[in-house]
Structure 1
Amino acid sequence: MSQDEIDLANPRWYLATRLRDVILRRWSAEVQAIGVHGSMAHGDDTETSDVNLVVVTYRQGAGPRAALRRVDGILVDLSVASGEEGLRRSRELTSRWPLEADRYLTTRDLFDPRGWFGTQRDAHLAKLAETRPGEFSSLARRNWCVASAAHARAVRLAEWYETDAALVLIAEARLHAAMVAGLLTRTYFRNRADAVKRTGLAAADMTELGATLKAQAEELTARGRPVDGPLGALFES
């Protein structure tokens, strides 16, 4: 991204460029790329948005330390990784893929003379292209198990009139059920709020969520990844 493309009247972009300049002055020999992800990368950041800054170094442990704190009233989430580590992560699929893919595929560079972020995006797309449906289903089943357990505990707590604790667990169940949906359809989300909103689970009550989990369990079984089975099944993929 050229300096002309940055809206310096936007306080978040102004802060991001200041952070970039400080990092390049202090660690110029260690840093190979700097970028932003999240709402700023998508171009729809607001006054409540964070600055999600990622610094890519030439070697592990170099450059600034990761940090999370406010700067001039704006929350800054600074992550740091070596180029090798960043590419390794982009070639891995985990049960959190629906919440992680966006940063691999939508990062806007503030400094990237060798096109590292493009290399990361291509590496992740190549991994997706070679991944079989069964791997996504296995990851979805992991999220289903978390969602199902949280839902069951929320139901029990509600029966005991432990409403506040039940609400925390139902939120966890909604999120993991949303990630099941994302993995089964190869859909990634901007963040947790986006995940539950786009899957229609943001306002799901315990009964609706229970029905969703039942339907997901049936789909996983149909895909060869049943959510329950004999002891020996625990050691299968």
Structure 2
Amino acid sequence: MDGISTGLGTGPDLDDPRWTVAERVAGAALRRFPADLLAVAVHGPLAHGDDDGGGDGEVGLLLVTYRPGTGPAPATRRVDGVLVDLTVTGAEDYLRQARTIGPLWPLTADRYVATRALRDPTGWLRTLRDEHLARLARARPAEFSTAARQAWYRGSAAHARAARLAEWYETDQALLMLGEARLAAATVAGLMSRTYFRDPGDAVRRTGLAGADMTEVGAVLRRQAEELAARGRPVDGTVDDLLDG
């Protein structure tokens, strides 16, 4: 990789054309922005190293900069037939995100704990993982319930919209909104069980929502509303509740 040590060792995944592209992009970035980049890593299937290795998936590449607003701009492009999703973030901003328990936590946490370094001379990625895990250890149950309630609202709104579109025979739009409702319900399930997922597809698959129809998703959302109420975070409230957050 043009003289850049990856620290990846050897293995069958290195034959995956996505690794070749990831290393090329990382090498180019490090040559062009040598004073800006603190760490470079991959996340997603390549970081786990246990996908099919067929080379037809995307490369999730993370560039961590010393200061925000430096380095290349975030971008998505196809390089030699491989889709590359380039995330560029300041180190402190990313650490702050890793310490946040929000409604999208089940879909973002994997990036904090399962990255694979292409360049990390200071061990910053280890710090990222440790900061996130320490935050989880300190998190109170109410934090996850609050985030789950916020995700539930998104799912409930998408489900209601999907049902209305289906009544209007707007089938394509209804299916799109139903997909959003499935994902939101899966996110609620992840928050209430403190489970994170690799990606949206993994979320709906592992929660049994991948093939759920309109009625099934509605039933899941109703059960989740009941559980949230039992946890002290009901989805319904008064005007004062709304203004008090």
1:53 aligns with 2:53: no
**In structure 2, what is the Cα distance between the partners aligned to 1:27 and 1:116?**
18
Instruction: Report matched runs for 1:112-191 at 5 Å.
Output: 112-191=120-199
**In structure 2, what is the Cα distance between the partners aligned to 1:192 and 1:101?**
12
**In structure 2, what is the Cα distance between the partners aligned to 1:110 and 1:228?**
47
Choose from 10, 21, 41 the match for 1:15: 21
Contact 2:149 2:228 in 1 (8 A): yes
1:80 aligns with 2:88: yes
Q: CA RMSD in A?
A: 1.3
Deviation at 1:170, TM superposition (A): 0.6
Match of 1:111 in 2: 119
Q: Which runs of 5+ in 2 are unaligned?
A: 1-5
1:100 aligns with 2:115: no
Cα distance, 1:181–1:79 mapped onto 2, change above 3 Å: same
Number of residue-to-residue matches in the alignment? 237
Match of 2:37 in 1: 31
1:2 aligns with 2:7: yes
AA matched with 2:122: R
Provide, for residues 57-86 of structure 1, a one-character-per-residue CA deviation record: whole Å limited to 9, x for no partner. 111111122110100110000111111111
Runs of 4+ in 1 over 4 A off after TM superposition: none
Q: What secondary structure, in the 3-state scheme, does the structure 2 residue paired with 1:69 have?
A: strand
Query: After the TM superposition, which of the residue ranges 173-182 and 85-94 deviates more from structure 2?
Result: 85-94
Deviation at 1:3, TM superposition (A): 5.2
Match of 1:226 in 2: 234
**In structure 2, what is the Cα distance between the partners aligned to 1:155 and 1:23?**
47
**In structure 2, what is the Cα distance between the partners aligned to 1:232 and 1:78?**
43
Q: What secondary structure, in the 3-state scheme, does the structure 1 residue paired with 2:9 have?
A: helix
Q: What secondary structure, in the 3-state scheme, does the structure 1 residue paired with 2:41 have?
A: strand
Match of 1:194 in 2: 202
Identity of aligned residues (%): 57
**In structure 1, what is the Cα distance between the partners aligned to 2:106 and 2:42?**
19
Q: Which runs of 5+ in 1 are unaligned?
A: none
Provide, for residues 39-69 of structure 1, a one-character-per-residue CA deviation record: whole Å limited to 9, x for no partner. 0001024322111110111111111221101
Provide, for residues 96-123 of structure 1, a one-character-per-residue CA deviation record: whole Å limited to 9, x for no partner. 0000000000000000010000000000
**In structure 2, what is the Cα distance between the partners aligned to 1:84 and 1:229?**
36
Normalising by structure 2, what TM-score?
Answer: 0.93
Normalising by structure 1, what TM-score?
Answer: 0.96
